[in-house]
Amino acid sequence: MTQVALVTGAAQGLGKSIAGQLLEAGYRVVVSDRSLESAQATATALDASGERVLALKLDVSSKADFEQALAAVIAHWGVLHVAVNNAAITMTTPVMQISPEEFDHVVSVNLRGTFVGCQVFGSYLADQGYGRIINMASLAGQNGGTATGAHYAASKGAIITLTKIFAKELAASGVTVNAIAPGPIESPAVRAAVPPERLEKLIEAIPVRQLGNAAFLGKLIVQLASEDACFTTGATWDVNGGIFMR
């Protein structure tokens, strides 16, 4: 049976790359994003036939959106096997200038969005007796951040903890929950967030002297989403070029 995977924030950037890798690996893929038009455009780009890709609106700050998206997937394909909580906001405001409102906004998307995704999809997958959840954390959540804001780093650090909590909660039901913590990735988002001169110095500080590869992250997610990954749960996989070593 062809498995079904849903990716949040999949209309562009890393999410789009992840969706593409899952599709290439044989999954049917749900491209979800807060912008339905953007999700539809990406879905068409990935699979013009529309047979193996479904576009859905999903604003991760809304639990109702998660519930509606899950219902839509079940109505369309009858089942869901894999959920990738990827949607996030990256902001670089200096810590002493972050307003409480901006802090709450970043946390509501990055952390609460992952929490609700694990809750809604995790409950469904547990009832099915099988599932894979992969959360996108970040190097920033491990070392306090090198180029991102404190609110971003704090939210990503909390995602690592949430991953362990849901892994324990769902393990006996056949559902694994893992996280990936990427360092700086070659992507439009990174280049938009970091000025060229600062990015050059950032790359020089990476032991492997280059930015990460988004396609590799997608392939790692494919591995963690596989049936063979049943003995891997509660883990955070570091992909950071040697910046952070345990």
- Listed in sequence order, the DSSP H helices in 129-171 are 140-143, 150-170
Q: Is residue 49 part of a domain?
A: yes
| Residue 71 half-sphere exposure toward CB, CA atoms < 13 A | 6
Confidence (pTM): 0.95
Q: Is residue 245 part of a domain?
A: no
Range of the domain at 110: 4-239
Question: What is the Cα–Cα distance from 211 to 199, expressed in whole angstroms?
Answer: 10
Count the neighbouring beta carbons within 10 Å of the beta carbon of residue 234. 17
Question: What is the Cα–Cα distance from 88 to 90, expressed in whole angstroms?
Answer: 6
Q: Is residue 178 part of a domain?
A: yes
- Residue in 172, 22, 10 with CA at minimum distance from that of residue 85: 10
Quote the distance between the C-alpha of residue 69 and its chain's center. 16
Segment-wise mean pLDDT, segments of 10 residues, the chain, 246 residues: 95 95 98 98 96 97 97 98 96 94 97 98 98 97 88 97 98 98 85 80 92 95 98 98 92
Question: What is the Cα–Cα distance from 187 to 90, expressed in whole angstroms?
Answer: 13
Q: Is residue 14 part of a domain?
A: yes
Q: Is residue 246 part of a domain?
A: no
Residues acting as catalytic residues = 152
Q: What is the CA radius of gyration of the chain?
A: 17
Count the neighbouring beta carbons within 10 Å of the beta carbon of residue 173. 15
Residue type present at position 103: F
Instruction: Name the domain count of the chain.
Output: 1
Beta-carbon contacts of 100 under 8 Å, excluding residues fewer than 6 positions away, are: none
Predicted pLDDT of residue 147: 75
Q: Is residue 54 part of a domain?
A: yes
- Residue in 34, 161, 38, 154 with CA at minimum distance from that of residue 102: 154
Predicted pLDDT of residue 14: 93
First to last CA, the chain: 38
Predicted pLDDT of residue 220: 98
Q: In what order do the strands lie in the sheet with 175-182?
A: 53-57, 28-33, 4-7, 82-85, 131-136, 175-182, 236-239
What's the CATH code of the domain at 41? Answer: 3.40.50.720
Predicted pLDDT of residue 198: 83
